[in-house]
Amino acid sequence: MKQLLILSGKGGTGKTTVASAFIKLSNCKSFADCDVDAPNLHLVMSENMEPVINDFYGFQKAFIDNSKCINCGLCEENCHFGAIRNFEVSVYECEGCGVCCEICPQNAVSMTEYASGSLKLYKSQNKVFSTAKLKMGSGASGKLVTAVKKQLLKEAHNSELVIIDGSPGIGCPVIASISGANLVLIVTEPTVSGIHDMKRIIKTAKQFGTACIVCINKFDVEMDNTKKIEAYCNEIQIPVVGRIPFDNTVIKAVNNFKSIDEYQDSKAAKAIKTIWNTIYENYLLSK
């Protein structure tokens, strides 16, 4: 089984457009959306299947038992996250560090499991799609990403290829999604921040020893930066596997909850198909 992970520095770079097209083009049977803060692959790929939904308990939050509390204020004073006010804990601010629990002279504080998100599994006779949604301000997104992948891999044991739409950024959820991946495709765009983010993702993937390739979305919007990306990648020997032109059809596809692959005559769909063939032949077909 090979795991292809698709990443980008931030949301809106075209990661999900590329991921959904690859899933369709490869007729992939096992795939996941690890963008747990803002998942949207299901809008295109759930194909009217109903998911099985389970609460995800990856985090603890403090809880104050007011019947034991003597209002000494020690917990509020010592909470570095400002999560306690008027002897009540805000679940949005509590980081689960447990300091209040340790410090309370009355044993009035306990740490309780908190449902910080929901795991969703779409499953049909021949397809499995794992995704999740983190509750706003819950933290623990890395843990939820790990749970999404675990849920997928448990069901995907007969699949030769697994495609994962990763999380944007470079933080904890990205590290969780890189773990176990065979190949990372970075979708970047020719902007200063796009180049900066790409470099950071390459650095992270290198730390894990994971092979990286790059494709440039909307490459024709700023050709100077496109050339800079290609020069940089050439210098550090990271293959640039293709360029996708700016194409309004992508916006149309997103608005219609469709994969760009369904607009086969569009410039973007043609470019993505070429990129897919390049990746398949050069990186996935091999032993």
Q: Tokens standing for 223?
A: 């050709």
Which among 92-100, 125-133, 182-190, 194-202 is the span making contact with ligand SF4, rule CB under 6 A? 92-100
> In one letter, which amino acid is 147?
A
Three-class SS state of 212: strand
For the chain, how are helix, strand and coil distributed in percent, rounded to 5?
A: 40, 25, 35
Total residues contacting ligand SF4 (rule CB under 6 A)? 27
Torsion of CA 137, 138, 144, 148, to 10 degrees: -60
Which among 43-51, 83-91, 209-217, 234-242 is the span making contact with ligand SF4, rule CB under 6 A? 83-91
**x-or-dash string of contact with ligand SF4, 197-236, rule CB under 6 A:** ----------------------------------------
Residue 140 in the binding site for ligand SF4 (CB under 6 A)? no
How many CB atoms within 10 Å of residue 77?
10
- C-beta closer to ligand SF4: residue 72 or 175: 72
E strand intervals along the chain = 2-7, 30-33, 52-64, 84-85, 88-89, 109-123, 128-134, 161-165, 183-188, 211-217, 240-244
**x-or-dash string of contact with ligand SF4, 25-64, rule CB under 6 A:** -------------------------------------x-x
- C-beta closer to ligand SF4: residue 70 or 231: 70
Which of 62, 76, 60 lies closest to 110 in space, CA to CA? 62
**x-or-dash string of contact with ligand SF4, 94-113, rule CB under 6 A:** xxxxxxx--xx-x-xx----
Binding site for ligand SF4 (CB under 6 A): 62, 64, 69-75, 79, 81, 83-84, 87, 89, 94-100, 103-104, 106, 108-109
